[in-house]
């Protein structure tokens, strides 16, 4: 499976739940795809007007196909991108509970052992008002479609399972 086929299948998997935009520049980084999922859940007492509580969950996906190898510098750029822009990406209000920011990186180059360790150790967490206004987790998934390699950090395992199923299709 080549990267274009993978991208097409990946979009087919998420398009029912996500709002997708192609070739978008987000602050200082370019992405092939950005996708946003918003969910609002609420508990009512007899009528919708009598809302007891509600909360929102969001997920943001940033997909990038690299022309070369994944480098330590690129991972650091992602972490800096998150640190600088998390407040602008995630919309915090009184109903916000959690958000996930997911980076899916595709490359035809196989990462070495050190790079695999760095991907697996990638962590990003930020709480708002000591967690009372929710939190954000960072996920990362690296994909090499030619060699059928998927590497994720701990929080990105759910995305990794979806990607693994996609690259096994063809």
Average pLDDT of every residue of the chain = 92
- The whole-model pTM stands at 0.91
**How many independent structural domains does the chain possess?**
1
Q: Is the pLDDT of residue 1 over 90?
A: no
Phi and psi torsions of 66, nearest 5°: -90, 145
HEC per residue, 23-69: EEEECCEEEEEEEEEEEEEEEEECEEEEEEEEEEEEEEEEEEECCCC
In which band, very low, low, confident or very high, does the pLDDT at 169 lie, cut at 50, 70 and 90? low
- Give residue 165's domain range: 3-169
């Amino acid at each position: 499976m080549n990267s274009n086929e993978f991208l097409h299948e990946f979009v087919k998997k998420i398009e029912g739940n996500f709002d997708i935009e192609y070739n978008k520049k987000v602050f200082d980084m370019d992405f092939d795809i950005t996708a946003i999922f918003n969910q609002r859940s609420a508990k009512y007492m007899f009528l919708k007007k009598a809302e007891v509580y509600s909360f929102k969950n969001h997920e943001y996906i940033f997909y990038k196909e690299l022309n070369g190898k994944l480098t330590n510098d690129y991972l650091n750029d992602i972490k800096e991108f998150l640190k600088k822009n998390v407040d602008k990406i995630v919309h915090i209000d009184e109903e916000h509970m959690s958000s996930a920011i997911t980076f899916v990186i595709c490359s035809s180059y196989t990462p070495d052992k050190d790079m695999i360790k760095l991907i697996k150790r990638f962590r990003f967490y930020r709480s708002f008002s000591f967690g009372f206004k929710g939190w954000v987790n960072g996920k990362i998934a690296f994909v090499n479609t030619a060699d059928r390699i998927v590497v994720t950090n701990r929080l990105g395992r759910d995305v990794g399972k979806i990607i693994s199923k996609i690259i096994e299709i063809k």
